[in-house]
Structure 1
Amino acid sequence: MADRVDVRMPLLAAAAWSAGLAAQLLALSAVVAAGLGALLVALAVALRRPDRATTVAAVVLVAAAVGCSAAVRAEQTGANPVAELARERAAVTVIGTVVADPRPVEGRFADRVLTRLDVHEVTGRGATTRLSTPVLVLGDGPWAEVRLGSTVRAGGRLDTAEGHDLAGVLVAGDPELLAGPGPWWRGADAVRTSIREAVEHRPPAQAALVPALVTGDDHLLDEELEEDFRTTGLTHLLAVSGTNLTLVVGFLLLLARWCGVRGRGMYVVGALGIAGFVLLARTEPSVLRAAVMGSVALLASGVHALQRGFRALGVAVVALLLVQPGLAVSPGFALSVLATAGILVLAPVWRDAMARWLPRWAAEAVSVPLAAQLACTPVVAALSGEVSLVAVAANLVVAPAVGPATVLGLAGGLVGLVVPAAGALLGTGAGWCVGWIVAVADRGADAPTAAIGWGTGPTALALLTVLCLVLALALRGVLARPAAAVAVAVVLGLVVLVRPPTPGWPAGDWVVAMCDVGQGDALALRSGPGEAVVVDAGPDPGAVDRCLDDLEVDRVPLTVLTHFHADHVDGLAGVLDGRAVGAVEGTSVLDPVGGVEDARAAAAVAGLPVRTATYGTTRRVGEVTLQTLWPRPGSAAGAVGEEGDAANDASVVLLAEVRGVRVLLTGDLEPPGQAALARAVPGLRVDVLKLPHHGSRYQDLPFLASLGAGVVLVSVGADNDYGHPAEEVLDPLAGAGAEVRRTDEDGDVLVSVTEEGIETHTRR
């Protein structure tokens, strides 16, 4: 007999979630009014249907409990002495326990370290108070050495924090260690370290991914790999999720069964496994959420799976929101709940439909990632503005490797504590498994139509939600028929692998192209049919490669790297991939050293050196005339702008002319360099200006305005952390009559020349 779903717990979960959203998004008075309204509705229903009175009362009680919990937590963090001192921006000394692993982050002016403290004691404004409240710490290098669970004393200045889960932000001085972490944390650290050591001999991507897959330890991952995982819908593998817990605890339960454990002993093993997993992955809210959702998945296995799973999911949602009401507005929480619900509701139906013509294990392998992805699609689109077309296929293909990689990685860490050589052997197996996952992410992200843009407005998301619901209802019939299922898979494969033509792209008369490569620069000057001079390569080889393919560029007589920051040089391999490249040139200031080495390594693969662009030279490259205006010999040494360094002010500045259009390419030149360039080349006028440093607010505006550019190009990443581009820079240029085009809003941009003059074309 099919499971009959008891909807009472899901109903309570919905009530708890609604109350949590109201508490986070509405004023207290509005929440109280909504609560009174719900109470009146409950009374009316109870009077009309006494048999449902208990359920209605439970719904109201749960909603009220979550609302009260939110109010209490907001009061605890917003009205305690630390919050009051934060509002006064007071200098304080605190004593607290480190409750999150310190994490280095790149700052605008210097690298910093982020962590969290549970503050036990605060001294400020002449008073000392004992309490317990969370504070975000922003510190310098020594904070990176502080271990989770340590008790420290630190001085600094408090500031206010956004949200209800922090009492303040402490810009801290160096920490003073008062006590080290306890034995449980030391043991967990030893295992995490052993996991990293078990795979450190593997290639960098594998050595970074195994710890991320097993314990969420992702600090070794590079941005390019993370972007590939986002594009292919594999991001959940880089963070702690319910899947991780299910695999780890499931493996422990299997070992226990082999060892003869039965009955209640299995529950003990499961509970110990969950506790050990939480210690390894850290007791942060995301980890606790993952542990709860993984427990739901374990409970949903076996007989009466749907009924038990739904009941467990409802209990989990209510419990989590009672403890942490702020999860109601957390995208991660929404994705976890929706993925679990999709697997519970949709996967079994689709599995049974496909099991008519596929082996059951194959039907299960297809249905689970498909159900989770479809359930999460509207939320993912709201967060990213994209709908991944390769996500289901990518998750399906990597699924056989995820379990072995997780288990082997954990086993390598545990065994490595005793026999390092054996741990390294197991780590090699884990590395082989994640090597396959990395390859799938890389190839999938490079697919011509890996993802399609989707709006994030209410109408677009409502339409997407309706489409997902229609698909959820229709797919059972499609998947039950092998011919229909295969036909749909073939069509989807063609859509992903074959880029649809863009009418009129590229424009036949284009002279300059600005590629959308995120937060970075990559531009092309058309030097002839099928060829272009490329200036900078952006941060991502795949992005610049895609752009040049779309421009039908297969020959690059010259590549110029204006300077060696990662957002200008890391994509060089994409320029070189499959193209005839004549030469690679860069600035004379070899800073930063890492960027120089990366650029040289990428060029060496193509048998090319990185030569130095010669100041003052004018040359003809096909239809492009290039003049190197900057840096003058010795002029950039030690130059530091307000938001930059010597590398920025050493940017190669090129004046190009293509079919009569004068273009100034400025790299990341800072105000001191701009002022020096204005003195060196007085009276300079151009038609097109590539705005320096992604539109940073630090500019020599009189100089830029004096250029008289009719088109201003801004290469900038959407939602970047630097505040680029600055409106105080764009507005004066636009006010002077310039047409401003920016990649974060317009995508790829072409500048073409016609009989009527200069035109721009854009493509998202």
Structure 2
Amino acid sequence: MTSARAGRWEHLVRAAAGARSPTGVPGDRRGDRSAGPRARREARRRKEPAATQASPARDLRLLPGALAAWGAAAFATRLEAQDALVLGGLLALVTIGCAVVVVRSGRHLPVAQVLLVFLGAAAMVCLAAASHQYQRSSPSLSAAISDEAHLTVKLRAVSDPREASTAAPDGTARWILEAELLEGTFNGSRFTASTPVMVIGSTEWSAVAHGDVVRSAGRPLATEPGARAGALLIATTAPALMADEPPGGVLVERLRNRFLTLSSATSVPDDGLMPGMVIGARSAVGQDLVETMKATGLTHLTAVSGANCSYVLAFVFLLCRGCRLPRWAAATAGVVALVGFVLLVRPEPSVLRAAVMGAIGVLAVLTGRGRLSLTLLFLSIAALLAADPWLGVEYAFILSVAATSGLVLAGPVLAARLSSVLPVWAAQLVAVPLAAQLFCSPILALIQMNLPTYSLPANIAAAPLVPFITITGMVAVVLVALAPWAAAPFAATAGWAAVGVAEIARFFAAAPLAAIPWPGGWGGAVLTALISGVVLVAVVWGPALVRVIRTAPSVMLAPEQVPAGESGLKSALMRMSIWVSVGCVLGVVAVWVWTGAVGRDSADWTVAACDVGQGDGLAVRTGPDSALVFDAGPDPGPMDACLDRLGVNTVDVLVLTHLHEDHFGGIAGVFQDRTVGRVLYSTSEDSLPDVVTEITSKAGIEAESASAGLAGRLANVSWSVLWPGPGPPADSENNASAVVLVTVEGAAGGPGLTILLTGDLEEDAAARFLAGHAHLAASGVDILKVAHHGARNGGAEIINAVSPKLALISAGRENDYGHPHPETLDALETAGVHVARTDLRGTILLTLRGNGIHLDSSR
């Protein structure tokens, strides 16, 4: 048994390195009948002429089609339905024309065949997008959006509600729900529709369940071109459940609810993680744990993902193979189990995408047929984009494709290598998250500001628990339906395993350098890809590299000193490989250490608008490692990461312009490992939020109220508070915003820089502010921090009065508020003001150089 397993492993290693066994048959098997049907088929294949065997290049035949489908989806979803139809029709005609030319020529034309695949896939997706656009279009809804009217609507919920990351202006929680608009009433006329909408409502919307049909009223807003939702509905009334409209999937929903009740009754302190991992109940996961999982690269475990789908399929497949069923029967049983799992989790687009990608990837690892899976991957990309063209612009889809590519290309090789130290089943299961993590990390570097240092070991540490949780939890689900009395032990066991995953996340999140600042944009993605490549090489070719390094002295000899029989080309390639590998590792380590020690952006900046999501966080440099900081964003993590990147160790003054959570919620990030000298705030309330009081008290600082006349100077930076003035409190928290004028002196008598920060000041208060500061209109400012993230209620009066050269808008990417509003952008464009937005550029860096302002950003 041991020798057979060793022979099998040796064959896999040779296959990974491109080597062949002496007999042309896997491992030590000699091609006799004792080797089994698969070995005999392999032997017969090797006897075939080379021309009849498939080459690796043939596996890439559908790659042009997948790329064309992806590009067409991203483009067609931004077009009107008729434009997408015309484009798809033209592409279809060209495809047919090319096909006629190929058929009539009667010759094998590889370029023409590739062109046919490319054009055909693009035409298919464009026509599908046009069909979707026609189906979801509603002239009445478009008219209501244009007229800024209110609608009475009938909606079907297509997701569970989730709490928004930012609260309403009055501080109450807001909930987000994906829904389908079925009916509406506009100007006294009823219309029908089938339009996806994003609903933002009050706490009452948290009680709406997936599949519920409700009535409500609200104001529709336009969404960005290419957005999945056809409109953003700001609900103005609570939802009214329609009893005569039973939700779909009653049995499935009943089963889900019974499982959720059971999981909560076990009293296991998993913070809601187990139901999220088993049936995708994301709303049950605590927000603190969500942030911790995000910080350690385990976010995909907080809900059902491709990994969970893979484990369900893998478990059934391996179970069937253990029962000596043939591969085709085992694969069929696995797919059937996966379909049932998808129905339980709910067949939403993200779940279907995860199921398809996960199935392809895990079959590549389990069957070893990576080339077939690669072809299926390209085919699935085109098919999924035709079914749902909006997937093409979603990072979740991009990550799924990357993860599946890793499973297909690297999964079998990693499984073979790991099988030398682990049982085969364990090696296969560990290979899945490892391969996915290596291929996903460069994509994650594009969408986050720091690098989870321990993401890979955290995923590997959690890998044995995740399939156990998924499978044990699914057993509990089945028993809930068949034998409820027997389900509790399985649910509790899965819950305690989920506690283990949560503790792994907390352990790595608390480790030193758990998250380090990382270059943003494509530079960070390339650097992350380099690290992933080094790890992959170390795992797959590590033993071979060790042998090469041990013999490096003889390899690096001069040509005349190379031992007899040593190929000159082989010697040169080995020398080059060694030095390239060493150089890559040293380069990665140097950049890593430098970035973590001083921050990428610490060398040269004057003003920085941090990308903190939907909120404000701005810094003005006062010294090599010190700054004035205005607001702290909604969450500590992004603010802390931004200040780390800027190299800020001392915050001379922290100004909380007003006490809405998107401006003070991240205060802990400002204090994290930094010295804060002074805290100023402005508010219309009678007391400070608890988090502000706790953090300032712990630091031994007493927060001071900011009002007109308060001023200070630090190095070459002076600041003064211009608003609010003396008198009664402002009529709203937004209008209580501190308005601060900051002046940065130029070097060597050169021109300086003036910045006006306006918090969330609204139009009526802005008029009163300008009436009392007419000098601003005369002198103007260089930079204006646009009020209220560019919302329409900020008005255009300040923009026109102070005539800024540059406008900074801090807003969250694809935020739910529609910030910045088109009217604000139009006003800035009319005034000829250059606009820099954090939702488009990420963190924005402004540097005073010579006679001008240099602008840089992280995207």
| TM-score, scaled relative to structure 2 | 0.66
Is residue 652 from structure 1 mapped to residue 733 from structure 2 by the alignment?
no
Secondary structure at the counterpart of residue 304 of structure 2:
coil
Q: Distance in 2 between matches of 1:98 and 1:512?
A: 44
Partner of 1:48: 107
Structure 2 CA distance for partners of 1:366 and 1:734, relative to 1, 3 Å: farther
Contact 2:360 2:373 in 1 (8 A): yes
* Match of residue 29 from structure 1: 89
Task: Say whether residues 1:673 and 2:765 are aligned partners.
Answer: yes
- Pair 223,687 (structure 1): closer, same or farther in 2 beyond 3 Å: farther
1:399 is aligned to 460
Q: Deviations over 1:374-407 (max 9, x none)?
A: 65678767xx47898668x623432221441463
SS across alignment from 2:461: helix
1:552 CA displacement: 5.0
Q: 1:555 Cα deviation (Å)?
A: 3.6
Does the alignment pair 1:290 with 2:290? no
Among 665, 673, 677, the alignment partner of 1:570 is 665
> 2:256 matched to which residue of 1?
188
SS of the residue 1:481 aligns to: helix
Partner in structure 2 of residue 342 of structure 1 = 406
Q: Does 1:559 align with 2:654?
A: yes
Distance 1:278 1:292 in 2: 10
Distance of 2:662 and 2:449 partners within structure 1: 25
Mapped partners of 1:168, 1:605: distance in 2: 45
3-state SS of paired residue (1:598): helix
For the Cα contact (< 8 Å) 2:407–2:435, is it kept in 1? yes
- 8 Å contact 2:469–2:498 — kept in the other structure? yes
- Work out whether residues 232 and 388 of structure 1, in 8 Å CA contact, stay in contact via their aligned partners in 2: no
Q: Which of structures 1 and 2 has the bigger CA Rg?
A: 2
Question: 2:343 matched to 1:279?
Answer: yes
Aligned AA (1:78): Y
The alpha carbon displacement at 1:186 in A equals 1.4
1:37-186 mapped onto 2 (5 Å cutoff): 37-44=97-104, 47-48=106-107, 71=127, 74-75=130-131, 78=134, 83=138, 86=141, 98-103=157-162, 111=174, 113-117=176-180, 135-136=196-197, 138=199, 140-141=201-202, 143-150=205-212, 174-175=239-240, 176-181=242-247, 182-186=250-254
> Is this contact kept in 2: 1:554–1:578, CA < 8 A?
yes
Instruction: Give distance in 2, aligned partners of 1:498 and 1:237.
Output: 31
| Matched ranges for 1:435-454 at <5 A | 435-437=503-505, 440=508, 447-454=515-522
Can you list the C-alpha shifts for 1:662-702, whole angstroms capped at 9, x where unaligned?
A: 65433222222222223344535575554233444544545
3-state SS of paired residue (1:534):
strand
Aligned counterparts of 2:617 and 2:433: Cα–Cα separation in 1: 36
- Is the alpha carbon distance of 1:400 and 1:5 closer, same or farther for their aligned partners in structure 2, counting shifts above 3 Å? farther
Q: Take 1:94 and 1:556, find their aligned partners in 2: how far apart are those partners?
A: 50
Write out per-residue CA displacement over residues 623-668 of structure 1, whole angstroms, 9 at most, x where no aligned residue. 7665443324554443xxxxxxx22111123345666976543322
Are the aligned partners of 2:296 and 2:505 in contact in 1 as well (CA < 8 Å)? no
Taking structure 1 as reference, are residues 494 and 62 closer, same or farther at Cα in structure 2, changes over 3 Å only?
closer
Partner SS, residue 147 of structure 1: coil
Distance 1:192 1:451, change over 3 A: farther
Deviations 1:47-105 (A, max 9, x none): 3359x9xx989x9799979966974784476269x846656669999878644334565
Please, which moves more after superposition, 188-197 or 667-676?
188-197
What displacement does 1:247 show? 2.3
Paired with 1:385 and 1:178, the residues of 2 have a C-alpha distance of 44
Q: Look up the SS of the partner of 1:539 in the other structure.
A: coil
- Are the aligned partners of 1:654 and 1:664 in contact in 2 as well (CA < 8 Å)? yes
Q: Distance in 1 between matches of 2:624 and 2:59?
A: 65
Return the match for 2:845 from 746, 749, 764. 749
For residues 278 and 84 of structure 1, the distance between their equivalents in structure 2, rounded to whole angstroms, comes to 35
Structure 1 residues 306 and 33: CA distance shift in structure 2, 3 A:
same
Deviation at 1:430, TM superposition (A): 1.1
Shift in alpha-carbon separation, 1:356–1:78, aligned structure 2, 3 A: same
Gap change, CA 1:5 and 1:361, over 3 Å in 2: farther
Shift of the alpha carbon at 1:708? 6.7
Is this contact kept in 1: 2:418–2:427, CA < 8 A? yes
Q: 1:522 to 1:102 in 2, by over 3 A?
A: closer
Distance 1:632 1:153, change over 3 A: closer
Q: 1:710 to 1:22 in 2, by over 3 A?
A: closer
Match of 1:612 in 2: 705
The residue identity in structure 2 corresponding to 1:588 is T
Distance in 1 of aligned mates of 2:437 and 2:156: 38
Structure 1 window deviating more from structure 2 (105-114 vs 669-678): it is: 105-114
**Separation in 2, partners of 1:361, 1:251:** 10
Cα distance between partner residues in 2 of 1:321 and 1:525: 45
Counterpart CA distance in 2 for 1:526 and 1:128 is: 57
Which deviates further from its counterpart, 490-499 or 281-290?
490-499
Does structure 1 retain, via aligned residues, the 8 Å contact 2:610–2:843? yes
Which of the residues 285, 298, 305 maps onto 2:369?
305
Q: Deviations over 1:450-478 (max 9, x none)?
A: 3442289xxx99x9999999999999667
SS at match of 2:615: coil
> Any conservation in 2 of the 1:540–1:571 contact (CA below 8 Å)?
yes
User: Alpha-carbon deviations, 1:253-308, whole Å to 9, x = none?
Assistant: 678899x7967996786456324421332111221222223333443344543355
Aligned equivalents of 2:219 and 2:792: distance in 1? 27
**Secondary structure of 1:148's match?**
coil
1:498 partner SS: helix
1:243 aligns with 2:329: no
1:678 counterpart SS class: helix
Question: 2: distance between equivalents of 1:304 and 1:409?
Answer: 24
One-letter amino acid matched to 2:134? G
Seq. identity, %: 30
Tell me by how many angstroms 1:335 deviates: 4.0
The equivalent of 2:693 in structure 1 is 600
* Alignment pair present for 1:408 and 2:469: yes
- In the aligned structure 1, how far is the partner of 2:294 from the partner of 2:510? 11
Separation in structure 2 between the aligned mates of residue 92 and residue 733 of structure 1, nearest angstrom: 34
Alpha-carbon distance between aligned partners in 1 of 2:399 and 2:759, rounded to the nearest angstrom:
40
- 8 A Cα contact 2:365 2:415, kept in partner: no
- Which whole-Å CA distance do the structure 2 matches of 1:659 and 1:101 have between them? 53
**CA, structure 1 residues 356+480, in 2 after alignment: closer, same or farther (shift >3 Å)?**
farther
CA distance 1:365–1:586, change in 2 (3 Å): farther
The AA in structure 2 aligned to 1:116 is A
SS of equivalent residue, structure 1 residue 299: helix
1:663-702 to 2 correspondences below 5 Å: 664-684=756-776, 689-691=783-785, 692-699=787-794, 701-702=796-797
Deviation at 1:575, TM superposition (A): 1.8
Instruction: State the partner residue of 2:501.
Output: 433
| 1:714-733 correspondence runs (5 A) | 714-716=809-811, 722-724=818-820, 726-731=824-829
Give the Cα–Cα distance (whole angstroms) in 1 for the partners of residues 537 and 640 of structure 2: 39
Quick one: distance in 1 between partners of 2:463 and 2:531? 30
Counterparts of 1:480 and 1:585, CA distance in 2: 61
Q: Secondary structure at the match of 2:244?
A: strand
Contact 1:572–1:603 under 8 Å retained in 2: no
* TM-score with structure 1 setting the length: 0.73
Distance between the aligned counterparts of 2:807 and 2:226, measured in 1? 38
Aligned match of 1:587:
682
